[in-house]
Structure 1
Amino acid sequence: MTNQSSAKDIADAVAARLSGNDLLELTAAISREVRLSGSAEEARSFETIKAMLDAAGLRTRLMHHEGYVSLPLKARIVVGSEELPAITHSLSAATPPAGIQARPADIGWNAPGPDAAEAVLICDGIAMHGLVSRNERAGAAAQIFICGELTHEMCVSAVWGSPAPEDFAKLPRTPVVSVTQEVGERLRSLIAKGAKTITVHAEVDTGWRRLPLLIADLCPPGIDGLDQSSAPYILFSGHLDSWHLGAMDNGSANAVMVGVARELAKHRPAMRRSLRLAFWSGHSHGRYAGSAWYADEFHHDLSTRCIAHVNIDSVGGQGATVLTDAVAMPSTLDCGARAIATESGQTFVGSRVVRAGDQSFVQLGVPSLFMALSEQPPSDTLTSRAFGGLVAGSRTGGLGWWWHTVADTLDKLDAELLERDGRIYGRTLADLTCAAVAPLRPDRQAEAFVTELRALAELCTPWFDLSGTITLAEAASRALTALEADRRRKPDESDDELRKTSDAMRPLIELAYAGSGVYAHDAAIPLPAIPQLALARDLGKLDEAQRASALVTLRRRRNYIDDRLRAVVRSAAATRKTA
């Protein structure tokens, strides 16, 4: 394409100006205070970033909304006459003043057994919501997680965003606390010496709070602001709230957002598409309350104009040398791979977009790229074992032993790695905003969907027929492949053409990643490909009556999927006809 070199020139210029030391200075300014969601300290950090972006010439808007957040206060464990220190977690149940007393059941790394009922479960690892939910199903009265040298702050609910009335019953019902490995060893020693009961105390401040949300727009010439425009845009987002000082999580990411925006603003005349920065609250203490509210409040805008979502979280950490496995979609993989290869020489494989990290827009069909870009190599440490692969692929060892702890301070950042990560984001955003034809691949998204559907069909044969759905998916793939060929032959792409191409692809992203339709948020739990047909994977394990009931649901969901695939074919054909 005729202007790909100019887009590359801009990417080179933006990347060259991003300095690790400058990004460290920005991080220091942002992470001076603990930024609990809805707190005065967090509000000051929002104002600091707003002033930075105002000075860079972006059009900013600081808005507020109600969000349901949970701030852990204090916790302790009492065994006989001995009191052991602990922390509790966001959206854990609180205990009555006398605490919760029950017999201990030590399961280590294992799944709970029959003795878990009405017991205080003692588990190795980090208090992840999937484990908390599993333990509650086993009947636990309370839960204690034994971490490594430090305790890791966690949100233990899988409810995505602020709860609707029907969601409150899904929130954790048991108190959940964590202790260090040293305290855990002492606890186990007391049990081995004959302690018959444990008392768990947990205090949590949970409720509705007024949360800030900062939007900052950088638009091409001729567009005064996105709110007065119908132009497509790229969303670049990260959370500002933190556990403790949160220099890496997420101060370093916020610094990169500001740094990239400052440098890209110098090339505004060459921009083809607008960039919208979004800084969320409620990520750490409300299971992505900010981004979920934004998805609901601006549903139509996002589902008609947002052509890509680039997320950033916890970049530049010491030892974060793995760049192969960050999340991506087939439609965005190439864009990310180019930037990563240029700055690191690594080959980006990508991982499936997971239900984590403010991925609040997949149900709207928004292509997504990145979250935690750089991670630690796998190791045999307790922390690596506990959260390796949590936010990306299985070849990673997590975000560092200091993640979600009091030790997440400025000294845990590496200036060279922060510069590398910043440059990768700078190149990615320059490519998305400045390339003559947006670097998205709807054909790859369609090809992947067909592959996933065929694999699913093999699992559910002979009980459920997906042959007609496969035929429709193949037709959608052919239509988007032809549309992509048309795009690649053109020297540039108008806003209208890009919107129509994006509209044609959206249903495939929704079907591939969302199980609850376009107006709801799935829980923060692992979802298989094409989650609306998840029941089809288990048909062979069901008895005859269960299978008959499951097929009722599957037929209805197949009808929905078929209609969405027909819409892809129609939309792609109409786009080619009017191009």
Structure 2
Amino acid sequence: MDEKERLKKHLEYLCSFDKLTGEPEALLAVNYLIQTLKEDGISCHTEKFDAYLSNPIHSHLVIDGEEIPSRPRSFSESTSKPLHVPVIYDHGTREAVSLVEQKAFLETVSGKLVLGYGYDERYAKLLEQYGAAGWVQIWTSGETQIHEDTVSPVWGTPDMDSSLFQLKMPVLAVSKPVGERILEKLEQYQQDGKILYADLESQVDTGVKQVELPIAEIPGKSEDFVLLSCHYDTWYRGAFDNCTADALALELARYFKDRSDQLQYSLRIAWWPGHSNGRYMGSTWYCDHHFDELYHHCIAHVNLDLLGSKGAGHTLAIRTAGLEGDKWLQEQIAAVDPEADLVIGRIGRGADQSFWGVEIPYHINPRYEARKECRTSDAPGPGVSWWHTIEDTFDKIDFDGLMRDGEVVRSLLEGLLTNAALPVDFEGYFHTWNRYLEPLKASEEHRMAIEEIQSLFEAVMTRCQELDTPVISESHLMDHNRLCRLVGGVLGRLMHSSGSAYEQDTSFAYGPLQLLSASAKLIARTAQQTGICFTTLHLYGRETVW
């Protein structure tokens, strides 16, 4: 049986049942992964632990006598009794408004059900803070499906402090066509001088359940290792999110096990639970419980998500922390898909990127996607309407596309695993981050601070280039790798996180240099003094990172 047939065999089984973490069906997937690994002679085990999970059960929304199709959000609050509340719309979720206008609107939401586009967790907390009765999220693209998702601001399982951030307000989702029909009705009511009311009930099952995390090990010459990861839990059947990646990881384990004598580094594969209904709690738990091992021995994290879907084009998007350099990535891809429309960008906030604190120097997330003009949805990845829906089934898999995904991932892994010298482009790394720093000069104070950071950063990069002599001996190799791990690990953490190395940042969507970006935006928008005060204190409390 060749690789393609084995992938089909894996996926016919994995796509035949739902796999929500904490539910009995999810353990069927774990058992299959472990059984397959053992049959292939691969060392493997599972780790068991308790996790805080949240499953959307049911929502009932009636507006002006019409029952509205909706779904509750994971980690939103259940209603203890039916709500009968007025409906209000936030124009600021669709068009730019000033901070003054935003605050004026927020002061009107108390006791009301807010209609608004998007899915920003920070916005949900603002509505809760101002006393809103709930939020109905309107999806931003025109498909009729409702996509499951979470609204938790906490990354991973909450601790005693972050548990206070958990949302205490119901949040429902509706499709864009349905949402805009409600908005038309609301506008008509307002023109007639009437108040539009909604009746709302929502049930979300949130609590602690035991979960399992499968791990596979393929030893190389060094105990240092590359971490390959994907999540095995799914919304519904979850064919391309994320059964395809799970099956591909099984085949990659088999491939590298047969070539373990060629590996300079070991390969560890993790299948995360709780990505969907636990807000990345599996990868977060693993980081916490294997912190020292990851800090001292993990050289790279390659994450697989949203692979092999119909609708994905020939645009290969590789999101990375950037240390390896574009040239290295281009060489790995040219070896397997020289015609790929390669787009290299910086890695974002999502997809189990839970490892900034352990200072792993390389983070890579590859997948084929559709170009923006070819997408049928604003959903991530290939931009298809069945993401996070009951329609993500076996028939949505493009097996030729999945094989192409596999070749790309295999080439990237071989580049990391079979070469003793770690890849690096110090000059390119500096220029990449300089492009993020330059737009932050929003005021004279910011300009001076950013220029100081740029000067220090350039000095570090220049010194790195001076120290990084050609690898002609074992001692040179050790020095080269130590320098790569130090620079990539430390700067990666500073660029992509803002808090302690031992804690996760919030799950709010933000790009690199979060605090500097937030501070610059507040100045540019002439924010109220309280916002500037809060952000400045937060920033200067962490100024030692520079």
Query: TM-score higher than 0.5 here?
Result: yes
Could you tell me which of 87, 92, 114 is aligned with 2:71?
87
- TM-score (norm: length of structure 2): 0.86
2:145 maps to 1:160? no
How many Å separate the matches in 2 of 1:549 and 1:169? 18
Give the structure 2 partner of residue 377 of structure 1.
Answer: 371
Aligned to 1:305: 297
8 Å CA contact retained: 1:436, 1:492 = no
Amino acid at match of 1:298: H
Shift of 1:371: 3.4
Structure 1 position 236 matched with structure 2 position 228: yes
Deviation string, structure 1 residues 465-508 (Cα, Å, up to 9, x no partner): 45554443223112222344434x56998578635531343211
Distance 1:460 1:263, change over 3 A: farther
The 1:26–1:468 alpha-carbon spacing in structure 2 relative to 1, beyond 3 Å, is same
Q: What pairs with 1:324-339 in structure 2 (closer than 5 Å)? A: 324-334=316-326, 335-339=328-332
Q: Which residue of 2 aligns with 1:149?
A: 144
TM-score normalised over the length of structure 1: 0.81
Q: Cα distance 1:372–1:88, how it changes in 2: closer, same or farther (>3 A)?
A: farther
- 5 Å-filtered alignment, 1:105-144, equals 105-107=88-90, 110=94, 113=105, 115-124=108-117, 127-130=119-122, 132-133=124-125, 135-136=127-128, 139-144=131-136
Residues 479, 347 of structure 1: alpha-carbon distance in 2 compared, 3 angstrom cutoff: farther
For residues 186 and 552 of structure 1, the distance between their equivalents in structure 2, rounded to whole angstroms, comes to 43
In the alignment, residue 347 of structure 2 is paired with which amino acid?
V
Does the C-alpha gap of structure 1 residues 456 and 27 become closer, same or farther in structure 2, counting only changes over 3 Å? same
What aligned pairs does 1:332-481 form with structure 2 within 5 A after superposition?
332-334=324-326, 335-344=328-337, 345-371=339-365, 373-379=367-373, 384=377, 386-387=378-379, 390=380, 398-441=382-425, 444-449=428-433, 452-453=436-437, 456=440, 459-461=443-445, 465=449, 468-481=452-465
Give the whole-Å Cα distance in 2 for the aligned partners of 1:358 and 1:504.
22
SS for the counterpart of 1:258 is helix
Q: What is the aligned partner in structure 2 of residue 64 from structure 1?
A: 48
Shift of residue 129 of structure 1?
3.1
Superposition RMSD on alpha carbons, in Å?
3.2
| Among candidates 99, 103, 110, match of residue 86 of structure 2 | 103
Q: What is the Cα deviation at residue 329 of structure 1?
A: 1.8
- Alignment-mate amino acid for residue 12 of structure 2: A
Partner of 2:256, secondary structure, is helix
CA drift of 1:172 comes to 2.1
Identity fraction in percent: 25
Residue aligned with 1:527, SS: coil
Cα separation, 1, equivalents of 2:112 and 2:361: 44
Please give the alpha-carbon distance, in whole angstroms, between the structure 2 residues aligned to 1:249 and 1:550: 36
| CA deviation vs aligned residue, 1:274-294 (integer Å, no higher than 9, x gap) | 010011001000110000111
Higher deviation after alignment, 311-320 or 347-356: 347-356
Equivalent residues of 1:233, 1:307 under 8 A apart: yes
Q: Quick one: distance in 2 between partners of 1:190 and 1:469?
A: 52
Do residues 32 (structure 1) and 27 (structure 2) align?
no
Match of 2:258? 266
Q: How many residues align?
A: 524
How far is 1:373 from its partner?
1.3
What residue is the counterpart of 1:523 in the other structure? 506
Structure 2 residue matching 1:156: 3-state secondary structure: coil
Task: Give the structure 1 partner of residue 219 of structure 2.
Answer: 219
> Is 1:252 aligned to 2:244, yes or no?
yes
Distance 2:131 2:359 in 1: 38
Displacement of 1:185 in angstroms is 6.4
Q: 250-259 vs 322-331, which deviates more?
A: 322-331
The CA distance in 2 between the partners of 1:79 and 1:237, in whole Å, is 43
